[in-house]
Amino acid sequence: HGCDITDFDQVEAVTAQIMAEYGRIDAAVNYAGFQRRTEIKDLTPDILGPMVEVQLIGAIWFIRAMGNAMAAGDGGSIISTSSLTAWNPSAGQVGYAASKKGLEYASQIAAIEYGADNVRINCIAAHLIETPMTAEIFEQRLLIEAVRQQTPLGRMGSVDDIANTALFLASDEG
């Protein structure tokens, strides 16, 4: 099941569809992201708006819809993906990083609000992961090698690393 996370009605509709089909939602993962590296001096509403819509506003709609469905049942686990850019400022990242930082804070509030209903809320703050969104960055081999050398395991993280972390958080052991 998929939808445009920025469209409140679509998020509500897909949640209702899942509930009608399965009767419950045990785990939900928000991995939606959009980045357009732009320095503040060059930002326009057309550049900033979509990043905030996807990573913050859409994420809140997702947490709300999934949290309400889980709270009406036996609880569950909601997992969103943040980014280390929320913690490591760099030029051109204000829209993306600020949205991810906002997502982390919204998730903390959601954890407080939904906790009594046995709904767990977590964020995975990923480092640089190779995806279609980051493909251009991964073409810069010297940069990637420098990042790789600074990581304790001496390797870049992968989409599988994020998926396995989400799987753990969604499990009873999480």
Residue 154, sorted as left (phi over 0), alpha (psi -120 to 50) or beta, turns out to be left
> Measured in Å, how far apart are the chain's first and last C-alpha atoms?
24
- Beta-carbon-side half-sphere exposure of residue 65 (alpha carbons within 13 Å): 25
Whether the pLDDT of residue 143 is over 80: the answer is: no
pTM for this entry? 0.85
The mean pLDDT of the chain is 90
Q: Given this model, what pLDDT does residue 153 score?
A: 78
User: 79-124: per-residue pLDDT in tens?
Assistant: 999 988 888 888 999 999 999 999 999 999 999 999 999 999 999 9
**Residue, of 38 and 142, whose pLDDT is higher:** 38
> What backbone torsions phi and psi does residue 121 show, to the nearest 5 degrees?
-125, 125
Catalytic amino acids? 96
Q: Are 120 and 78 in contact (CB under 8 A)?
A: yes
Q: Transcribe 23-40 into DSSP letters.
A: S---EEEE---------G
Q: Give the residue among 34, 13, 16 at the shortest CA–CA distance from 25.
A: 16
| CA–CA gap between residue 99 and residue 81 (Å, rounded) | 11
